[in-house]
Structure 1
Amino acid sequence: MKLTHSCIITENVKKLSDFYKEALQIEPQSYGDDYVEFPTDGGVLSLFSFKAHEELAKGSTIPSSNRCLELEFNVDNVDDDFARLEQLNVEIVKPLTTQPWGNRSFYFRDPDGNLINFYTRTR
């Protein structure tokens, strides 16, 4: 089995797409106004409109309500990314620290409140 996509259902694909384009520094692949993909080495982060999703599976999601899932990205230089994202005034949830297991990381939220971890392995 291979996990291929993580999909965020959102009420504002454009706003979230603009955010992730800046945060990930990846050009999104757009498939109309309702769906966008950000290809990464480990899979695809996709954004799908709540309105379009409702047509497929009515009542199955509630946008901007996530408080239990974290998206994690292994980045080349977490210190540089922290400084860059601080300038974008993102909500920092956990400041830049080095964990006992060796990852240097920080947590922040996207405009819909989803938790994101950027980290670099130090050992």
Structure 2
Amino acid sequence: MNFVSIRIITGDVARLVNFYERATGVRANWSNEDFAELRTASATLAIASTRTVPLFAPGAAHPADNRSVIIEFLVDDVDSVHRNLTGFVGDFVNEPTTMPWGNRSLLFRDPDGNLVNFFTPVASAAVQR
């Protein structure tokens, strides 16, 4: 089994896609106005409109209602990313901070309130993982 993607359900696909394209530097591949994907080497961030939910199970997902998942991106230099996102991201939840497990992390919320973590391994054990 391979973990391949996470999908965000949103009320405004274009707004969220634009945000993630700017934040990550990855261009989205659009299937139609209700669905786009930002593909990286290891996983895909899919963004879909609320109109897609009934195709799976009506009422099963609600936009801008997540407070339990952190969407994480490995970056080369989290401090540089922080500088580039300052002025674009509204408020940072946490400025770049070195975590006890050896990653330097930057936390912020996307326009729907989803928590996003950009991180860089900095401790030797974290780099080896």
Q: Is the TM value for this pair above 0.5?
A: yes
Question: How far did residue 89 of structure 1 move?
Answer: 3.3
Q: Determine what percentage of the aligned residue pairs are the same residue.
A: 37
Matches within 5 A, 1:1-123: 1-123=1-123
- Tell me the number of residue pairs that the alignment of Structure 1 and Structure 2 aligns: 123
Structure 2 counterpart SS, 1:31: strand
Deviates more, 1:39-48 or 1:94-103: 94-103
Unaligned runs of 5+ in 1: none
Question: How far did residue 55 of structure 1 move?
Answer: 4.2
The AA in structure 1 aligned to 2:93 is V
CA root-mean-square deviation: 1.1
Unaligned runs of 5+ in 2: 124-129
**TM-score, scaled to structure 2:** 0.90
The AA in structure 1 aligned to 2:15 is K
Deviates more, 1:24-33 or 1:86-95: 86-95
